[in-house]
Structure 1
Amino acid sequence: MIYIKLFLTFFKIGLFSFGGGYAMIPLIEKELESHNWMTSSQFYNIIAVSETTPGPISVNSATFVGYEVGGIFGSIVATMGVATPSLILILIICKYLLKYQDNGIFKNAFSGIRPVVAGLIIAAAFFVAQTSVFKKSVTVSTIHDAAIHPFKYLNFKSILILVIVTLMLEKFKLHPILVIFLSGVIGVVFFYII
């Protein structure tokens, strides 16, 4: 039964996640919470691993979550679930979009979808920040306390890594693959050695 649930859950995520893997993160988290498959902290560890391994984050996340929930077969089922809607939709789009690409309804529909995608990516960034940058969960009602007592709420090691990564990308123009590797090394030094 767990394999059917995994497939259907990730099929639904794959079907309704416009904008790629980062837009899926809030949907995956919501589904994991509703099924009690893992905690937010466990999920964001999976997201961190998914970001550093080759391939799309959506497929990697589905594979890792499936493995945690149902072993190897669970990872296969979850991966198939998240990829199947894209395959079906791209086949339909290839057939009809080229034929109707200048239609005003299609253009307006995609114009309406773009802001939603941006919002989902911003929400994903917020959710990831809650588990990596903050020691405690920060909500609108606790922002005031976090501003008054930053040492109580903020994880300064993570913030320092964020600053270093931003410098590596913007100032020194390092390749993102090298930045991911270096960030892993810095994470080991900051959180394991120090």
Structure 2
Amino acid sequence: MNQEKTGEIIRFFRTKSNLTQNQLAERISVSNKTVSKWECGKGCPDISLLTRLAEIFGTDVDTLLSGKIEKNENEKGNMKKLRFYVCKDCGNIITSTSDAVINCCGNRLEALTPQKADENQQLNITDIGGEWFISSDHEMTKEHYISFAAYISDNTVMMFRQYPEWNLQITLPMFRTGRIMWYCTKCGLFYQNIHK
């Protein structure tokens, strides 16, 4: 931990939050001189205070420790570049349209890498009069199942949560073109392109 960088980031977040040193000190039960000392790079907060500081500032502990904010380029809004993250502990599904630092259940999540489905893995897609009916013979046990499927085009995302011991069956409006993606709890993220 670099004391000067951590101090600068604390000052940045404190002023961004419209807090005085005294107000911040009161919230975390330290003196305003202690906050001043941190901001001048002459000391660092005790490890026990970092979580509370991160909550107050709406950031994470890693940002406070590193002393820098990683800014993303402006994302261009193309949903085809959507990234998926799945928490192995709770099953939470998170998406982002550009690089992001995602944490869940105390774990840093990595973006899933989609694999093109081979012929045996592909979902069954049937035209039923202006709609697509999507189904699969994939195993759907509590230990091995498809937890979600998503239809993605350049400006649309439709997500369908799936549950163990239920058959995967989805009906969606027929679009000209797009991609269907699904996540298997054992095998990972797959995709197949669909066309009218």
TM-score by structure 2 length? 0.21
The structure with higher relative contact order (CA 8 Å, sep 6+) is 1
Larger Rg: 2
Q: Which has the higher strand share?
A: 2
